[in-house]
Structure 1
Amino acid sequence: MKLSALFAATTLALSLLTPLASAATACGAAATPIALIQGEGDRSPFVGQTVTLEGILTLDARGQGGFRGFYLQQADDQTDDNPATSEALFVYSRRHQGSRGQRLRVTGEVKEFHGLTEIVKVRELEVCGPGTLPEPIALQLSGAGALEALENMRVSIPSPLTVIDSYNLARYGELTLAPQDRVIATEYLPPGPMAGKLDSSVNGQITLDDGQGKRDPRPVPWPPEGLGADNTVRTGDTLRGVRGVLDFRFGQWRVQPEPSPDFIATNPREPAPERPGGSILRVMTLNLANLFNGDGRGGDFPTPRGATTESAYRQQQARLVSALTAPDPDILAVSELENDGYGEHSAAATLARALGSQWRYIRTPGKDGNDAIRTALYYRQDRVVPVGQAERLTSGPFHNTGRPPLAQAFRLRNGKESVRVVVPHLKSKSCRGATGPERDQRDGQGCYAQRRTRAARAIADWLDRLPAQGAIAGTLITGDFNSYTRETPLQLLQKRGYTSMVAHYHPCTPEQCRHYTYRYKGRKGSLDHALASAGLAGQVVNAVTWRINADEPRSLGYQSDIAPGSVGPWRSSDHNPVIVDIRL
C-alpha cells in the first residue's frame, strides 16, 4: 500500500484487522480500504456486511433523474499496488451531504446490485473536507476482466472511439462505442461457428451514458447540443476525449461522462448519387418500412403495421418520396408496401400519386399472396416502357406463405434492349415461431436460414423457366433478401449466375465496408442486394448504397416526437437504398 504518511499506514493496518469499523469515529480514523471491499473477483467478499470507508466523491448522481447516489474513490495517495482490485464504488444514498471533490466518510452495507458493487443502507455520512480528485486511469478497451478492476473509477480513453449503435439514444440517453466500426461477420465470412462467435462478441465496446436513470430524456443528451432533425449523431461518427466514471449497469460497461466528449461527424450525411451520362437505366431498391395508408381516405388508423395516425402516415410517405425521388431513378423496386390491392385508395396508388404524375406501377391482381405486405415495381412512364407481362412466383415456398416475388421487363423508351427486374422479399431473421432446423444455428445467419435458401433456389428455378421477352440484356434480382452477402441464399444465387453488384464494386472486409444497407446490434452489412445475371453484369456501370437511413438514430424516424416536421430523406426507413446504373 502506497501511503503518504505514517498515520495513514497505521490506519490501514488497523482497518485490515477490523474491516467492519464504526462510523462513530472521526474522519481519518480506521476505515476499510475500498480495494479490500471490492476484492479481486467480480463479487465483493464483504457482501451483507457493514463497513466504514473514506474516499473522494468523484461524480454526484443524486440529482433529479439520477442514480440516487454517488461514486466514491480512494485518494491517489492511498491506493494499493494490486491491479486486480478497483479503488472505487457506488454509494446508494439520498443524503445530501458532500459534493464533487470532497472527502467523505461513509458507513453502510455492502451489496452487489446486478453486478455493481455498492454501499446501501447508509448509517453515517460525514464530510471530511476538501480532497483532490483522483487522476483518471487510461483505459484500453479489451475484455470485461480488464474493466472489472476499474469499476466505478475515473477513467479516460485516449484513443478516438466510433459510434456503432444508437438504438437506445432517445430512450435511455445511450450510445455504444468501439475503437472502430464493426461489420457483420457473414458479410465477409461464410456461415459457421467463427461467424456466429464474432457476431455475439461485445468485447472492446462500451456505452456512453448520460448520468441519468430515467427513460426518454428530453432533450436527448447526445450530441451535446441536443438531438434534432438537423443535429444528428450517426453511427460511424467519432468521439474524442471520452472520460468519466466507469460504471456497470443493466448488463453493460459504460462511462458516465465528465465532461462531454467531442463529437466529430466522420460519417456525414451525403447527397444522392449523381446519375452517369448517356443511355442509363437507373434502378433503385428500398424497403419502405411498412408503408400502410389506412383506408386511403384519412381513416382506419392505427393500421396493422406502420403509422398509427394519419399525420404520421403523411410524414412517413413524405420522407419516403424524398428518398425515392432524390437519386432520379427510372425504376423503383420496393418492399413492405401494404398488400391492399390496386384501387384508387390503395397504398400502391397513393404512393404513385405522391411520387409524381410521371410515375406508374405494375399490377398483378390476385397473385400478391396473403401476407400483410408485398413487393412492388414503379417506373417513370416518360422514360421506360414495360415489356411483356408481369409475373409473380406463387408456387413452391411461395404457395400460401411468404411474399411472392414480382418480375417485369423494362426497356428505355428510345432503346431496344430490355432488363428483367425481379423483386423478392425473403423471410426475416426474426425467430418468432421458428422450430427445428429453422431455429438459430449460431452460424451467423439467424433463424429461418433454410427457408430463405429454399426461396432463393425456387426463384432461380423460376427465372430459368420464364421466357425471354424481346431483346433482353439480362436479369436484375433486387430487393430485401434478409441475408448478408456470404450467407447461403446469396451464395446459391451466385452459383446460379447472379452476382451482387454492390459487393462486386465495393466488397466488405472486417476493416472496410463503406456500402451497406442495415445495422444490427452494433454491426453493419447488406440485407438488400442487386444481383445481375451473367449477361447483364458487364453492362452495370456502378452499384452503390445511399446511406440515409441505417446510420441515423431510430429516434429521428417519423414515429418519434423529436423531428415531427422533417420531410427529408433521413431515417425514412431502417434500410439504406441500393442504386444500380445499367448502360443500355
Structure 2
Amino acid sequence: MIAGSRSVALFLALLLTASEGLAANACGKPATPVSKIQGRGDASPLVGDRVTVEGILTFDARAEGGFGGFYLQQADDETDANPETSEALFVHTRNNTGAPGERLRVTGTVKEFHGLTELTDIGTITSCGSEPLPKAQTLTLLWPDALESLENMRVHVAQPLTIIDSWNLARYGELTLAAGDQIIPTEYLEPGPQATQIASRNKQQRLLLDDARSVRHPNPIPWPPGGPGGEQTARSGDKVRNISGILDYRFGAWRIQPKEPPIFESSNSRPPAPARPAEPHVRIMAMNLENYFNGDGEGGGFPTQRGAPTALAYEAQHRRLIDALRRPDPDILAITELENDGYSKTSAIAQLAKALGPEWAFVMTPGKDGHDQIRTALLYRSDRIVTETDPERLNSGPFSNKGRPPLVQTFRPEGQRLAIQVVVPHLKSKSCKGATGANRDRNDGQGCYAGRRTEAAHALTEWLDRLPQVPDLAGTLITGDLNSYFQEDPLKALQQAGFTSMVHHFHPCKAQQCAHYTYRYKGERGSLDYSLASASLKPRILGARTWAINADEPPQLGYKHNPPGTAASPWRSSDHNPVITDIQL
C-alpha cells in the first residue's frame, strides 16, 4: 500500500512538471508580470517563488567572461505604467536560447543576488519570435530610489557625467561617474555629522560605467575605447556622454552595461607646468613621491619594501619623477615618501639628486632620520641657493620612536640678504591599521589617527619656536604631506599657531568648487599636501598652487604597472599632485 502511494505521488509530480512545461512553453499564455516580481522595494516580494515570465531579451551577457545570463524586459505595451516598479530582470542561465530583440518565455525561481533581482534555476526557455526592443527610459537622477525603479531596464542618461574615480578601471573595467566632481567634505566643512552625511550622500549619487564582464584585469582595458596609454587617458574630471545601456546592480553599486561605447570628452586636460613669475623669487616645490625606492642602487634589490616591484618599474618611476620635478624649474624640493637608506652614492636621495643634474645638492641628517622605511628630504639648486645653519630633525615627543621626523633647513638665495626656513613634515596616514583607543575612526570624516596627527602638528610648531633665531629670516614655510584635509584638526592646530595654507588663501575650496587639490580618494578630491606660511612670510608669497599631474590620472598608468611605452613624462609619476610656492624675498 505504501509503495502504491509513492507511485501515485510520483505520477502526480511528473504530471505537474509536464503541465508546468507545457504552460511555460506556450507563448502568449498568462505569465507573471515582471513588475510584480520586482515590486516597489529593494527586494522582490516573490523571492523563492517559481514563476513564468515573458519579455524581450535586451542584453546578452552569456559569452565567456560575462555574467552568465541575460536581461529580459517587458514590451512597452505590457508594462504596469507604475514608475515605481521596474519592468526588467536578470535571467541567470547558460542556456543559449535567444538573442537581443527576441521575445522569450522563461520559467525559473525568483532570487535576490547581492541586491540584484534575478531568475535562477531556469526550467525552460522558449523563443516566441522577434520583437522591437523596449524604449530606453531617460535617467535624470542618480538617487537610489530613482535607480531602483529602473533596475535591469534599458536606459539613456540624460546629461553628460563626470569621471570621479578610476581605481577599478584596470582591475574590473569600471569607471565611477557622477553628475559632477565630488569634493571631500572635510576640505570645506569642520569634521562632524554634517560632513559624514554629505560623504554618505556623495557615495549614493554615483553610477559605474562597466564592461559587462566579470573578469579581473581585462585586456584590453575597455575605457576609453581602445584603452588608456600615451596621450589617451581617462582623467577624473573628464566628461562622458551618450551613455546608454542596461541599468544594473552588482557588488553593491549601480552600474551601466553599455550596448555601444559612450563618448569621452577631455574637459580636464593635462596642464603644463606653472610658469615662473616675472619678479625675482624663490620657487619651492613639495611632492609625495609614492615610495621612491631604488633597490640596492646598483640595478638589483627588487621588489623593494614599499616601492617598485621590478627594475623596469623603478626605471619607469624614475624617468617620470625626474621629468615632473624638473619641469616647474624649482629652486628647492621638499619631498616625502623617499626611501630611508642613508646618504651613500647608492642611496635613493643621492641617485635622485644625480639624475636631476650636477647643480642639485641634498640636505643630510645622518642618524636622525628615524626608523620608518620612508623619510622626508630637502634638495636644492646649489647654483642658486645656499644653506645656512645646520639642518635639524624633530626626534622627540610623538616622533621619538615612531613616525617620520620632520626636517628643517634654512636657505638663502645667492647674493640676497633675507633667508627662508623650510620645514618638510609627513604625518601619519589615515589608514586604520593598528589603530586603538583614541586613534580609531571617530566617524567625523577625519579617518583614523586624527589625534596622533594633531599631536604631531602641535609638537611641530612648538619645536619651531624653540629653534635658534636666524639673522635676516623672512619667515618659515611648512610644506609637505600632512595626511589631513583643510578643515581637519591638524590644520586647525597649525592655523592657530600662525601658519596659513597659501594654496587655500589664493584658491579657496567650496562645496561646488575646488580647483586646486593634491589627492583623490574613493571618488572625492581634496588636499593632503600643503604650503603653510608663517605670519611674517605670508606677505611675501607671490603665489601658491597645485599642479594636476597625478591624482586625476588612472592608477594603471603608474609605475607599478609599468605600462608599455613608458617615457619621461610627468603624468601619474606619483599619486599626489605637487604643491608649488613662489616667494619674493
Q: Cα RMSD between the aligned structures?
A: 1.4
Alignment match, 1:277: 278
Mean CA deviation greater in 528-537 or 566-575? 566-575
- 2:142, 2:207 within 8 Å by CA — same for their partners in 1? no
Q: CA deviation at 1:298?
A: 1.5
Alignment match, 2:198: 198
Q: CA deviation at 1:142?
A: 3.9
Q: CA deviation at 1:21?
A: 8.3
Counterparts of 2:212 and 2:565 in 1: how far apart (Å)?
27
Q: TM-score, normalised by structure 1?
A: 0.95
- 2:86, 2:148 within 8 Å by CA — same for their partners in 1? yes
- 1:480, 1:527 within 8 Å by CA — same for their partners in 2? yes
Counterparts of 1:358 and 1:484 in 2: how far apart (Å)?
35
Render the CA deviation track for 1:19-49: whole Å, top value 9, x for unaligned. x885444211121111111122222222222
- 3-state secondary structure, aligned to 1:559: helix
Render the CA deviation track for 1:69-116: whole Å, top value 9, x for unaligned. 110000000000222211000011122221111111111121111111
Alignment match, 2:4: none
Counterparts of 2:107 and 2:200 in 1: how far apart (Å)?
41
Alignment match, 2:244: 243
Amino acid at match of 2:301: D
Alignment match, 2:230: 229
Alignment match, 1:101: 101
Q: CA deviation at 1:470?
A: 2.4
Amino acid at match of 2:225: P
Alignment match, 1:414: 415
The alignment status of 1:297 with 2:270, answered yes or no, reads no
- 1:69, 1:91 within 8 Å by CA — same for their partners in 2? yes
Alignment match, 1:57: 57
- 3-state secondary structure, aligned to 2:559: coil
Q: CA deviation at 1:294?
A: 1.3
Counterparts of 1:543 and 1:357 in 2: how far apart (Å)?
27
Counterparts of 2:217 and 2:408 in 1: how far apart (Å)?
44
Alignment match, 1:82: 82
Render the CA deviation track for 1:46-74: whole Å, top value 9, x for unaligned. 22222111111111111121111110000
Alignment match, 1:451: 452
Render the CA deviation track for 1:119-146: whole Å, top value 9, x for unaligned. 1122211111111111111112243122
The alignment status of 1:374 with 2:375, answered yes or no, reads yes
**Aligned pairs, number:** 566
- 1:229, 1:563 within 8 Å by CA — same for their partners in 2? no
Q: CA deviation at 1:563?
A: 4.0
Mean CA deviation greater in 115-124 or 366-375? 115-124
**Identity over aligned residues, as a percent?**
59
Render the CA deviation track for 1:397-446: whole Å, top value 9, x for unaligned. 11011110000011111211111000000000000010111111011110
- 2:24, 2:106 within 8 Å by CA — same for their partners in 1? no
Counterparts of 2:499 and 2:23 in 1: how far apart (Å)?
75
**What are the equivalent positions in structure 2 for 1:7-22 lying under 5 Å apart?**
none
- 3-state secondary structure, aligned to 2:537: helix
- 3-state secondary structure, aligned to 1:535: coil
- 1:392, 1:404 within 8 Å by CA — same for their partners in 2? yes
**What are the equivalent positions in structure 2 for 1:19-418 lying under 5 Å apart?**
23-201=23-201, 202-418=203-419
Amino acid at match of 1:306: G
Q: CA deviation at 1:277?
A: 1.7
- 3-state secondary structure, aligned to 2:441: coil
Render the CA deviation track for 1:504-563: whole Å, top value 9, x for unaligned. 000000111110000001100000000000111111011010000000000100111534
Amino acid at match of 1:205: R
Counterparts of 1:525 and 1:101 in 2: how far apart (Å)?
46
- 3-state secondary structure, aligned to 1:147: helix
Alignment match, 2:553: 552
- 2:519, 2:528 within 8 Å by CA — same for their partners in 1? yes
- 1:21, 1:51 within 8 Å by CA — same for their partners in 2? no
Counterparts of 1:566 and 1:113 in 2: how far apart (Å)?
45
- 2:58, 2:71 within 8 Å by CA — same for their partners in 1? yes
Render the CA deviation track for 1:209-241: whole Å, top value 9, x for unaligned. 111111111111101132213210100001111
Counterparts of 2:426 and 2:88 in 1: how far apart (Å)?
52
- 1:227, 1:562 within 8 Å by CA — same for their partners in 2? no
Mean CA deviation greater in 143-152 or 363-372? 143-152
Alignment match, 1:528: 529
Render the CA deviation track for 1:351-387: whole Å, top value 9, x for unaligned. 1111111100000011111111000000000111111
Counterparts of 1:363 and 1:197 in 2: how far apart (Å)?
46
Q: CA deviation at 1:564?
A: 5.2
